[in-house]
Structure 1
Amino acid sequence: MPADNAHLIVAAARRRAAATRRRATSALRQMDATGTVITFEAVAREAGVSRSWLYNQPDLRAEIERLRARHRPVPAARPVPDRQRASEASLLRRLEAATERNRQLEAENRELRQALALALGERRTADICGIRATATSPAARAIGPC
């Protein structure tokens, strides 16, 4: 008659279950401590257990869901309702206006650079020739009084 070794099989199963639980708990604590994103899949991969096993452990499942919710980013603001959003035509008009303003500013910058170059040239010429610059020179009129 064969020996009844059922108690040994039961004990081994209990040890294996306890080791699995320790790995899952340890992985969960480590992931939380390091700030790793906590999901069932990530915990299962880290602990070397199946996701279905995690889902079937009420305490571990509750802890994963709690930590996952805690690390979930809070939206900064509510989305703007459709009726308050700018229409495509409105956005295009704003873009056209901004583009036109940029063109105007570029032209003004070109004129100012030319006037500055002219004024600096006249000043250099005056310094070399010993002539005092007057406020009636074309560059002085373009730049204006300081």
Structure 2
Amino acid sequence: MSNFNRKEQLKKIHESRKANTALKVDGAIKRLIKANESINFNSVSKEAGIAKATLYNNEDFRSRIEKLRNQQSQVPTPKQVKQEMNESNKDALIASLKRKNQKLEQENKQLRKQLKVAYADVYKKL
């Protein structure tokens, strides 16, 4: 028992806990990215099962989460992308409806001409 050094033992325990926490945080961030979830301190702490204070107090975790959060805020959300698609689709939809309207107007003119001819034939028979 004379070889037991309490300080060294505590350092080893502390280092193993830090490594375990780092693995948990890395895994949580990877899962959140894969699931396309938002990355922030709340979501990472919940996913990793650690306290938010740990994330805030560790500079590496803090800078990484803030960086990822900023990157996600710059990327448009699916709702924004859909809205932009709708804006560009409006022009195409309007053009399509105009073509359809012109086609129906021409068809209507032809049918009116045919109707005049048919009325003329009926009138001649009387």
Provide, for residues 24-81 of structure 1, a one-character-per-residue CA deviation record: whole Å limited to 9, x for no partner. Answer: 12211232233211010000011111111101111221111111111115597xxxxx
Provide the aligned length of Structure 1 versus Structure 2: 83
Give yes or no for contact 1:40–1:51 (8 Å, CA) kept in 2. Answer: yes
Partner of 1:16: 17
The RMSD of aligned alpha carbons is: 3.2
Query: C-alpha distance in 2, partners of 1:22/1:133?
Result: 91
More contact order relative to length (CA 8 Å, sep ≥ 6) = 2
* Structure 1 residue 15, shift from structure 2 partner: 0.5
Relative to total residues, which structure has the larger helix share, 1 or 2? 2
Query: C-alpha distance in 2, partners of 1:7/1:133?
Result: 113
Partner of 1:68: 69
User: What TM-score does the superposition give when structure 1 sets the normalisation length?
Assistant: 0.46
- Please tell me the residue identity of whatever aligns with 1:16: R
Give yes or no for contact 1:24–1:47 (8 Å, CA) kept in 2. Answer: yes
Which of the two has higher C-alpha Rg? 1
Q: Residues 1-146 of structure 1 correspond to what in structure 2 (within 5 A)?
A: 4-72=5-73, 73-74=75-76, 132-134=121-123
Query: C-alpha distance in 2, partners of 1:39/1:15?
Result: 25
- Please tell me the residue identity of whatever aligns with 1:10: K
Give yes or no for contact 1:32–1:67 (8 Å, CA) kept in 2. Answer: no
Query: C-alpha distance in 1, partners of 2:7/2:64?
Result: 34
- Stretches of structure 2 that go unaligned for 5 or more consecutive residues are 81-114
Change (3 A) 1:63 1:4: closer
User: What TM-score does the superposition give when structure 2 sets the normalisation length?
Assistant: 0.52
- Stretches of structure 1 that go unaligned for 5 or more consecutive residues are 77-118, 127-131, 135-146
Provide, for residues 63-108 of structure 1, a one-character-per-residue CA deviation record: whole Å limited to 9, x for no partner. Answer: 11111111115597xxxxxxxxxxxxxxxxxxxxxxxxxxxxxxxx
* Structure 1 residue 133, shift from structure 2 partner: 3.5
Query: C-alpha distance in 2, partners of 1:31/1:41?
Result: 12
Identity of aligned residues (%): 23
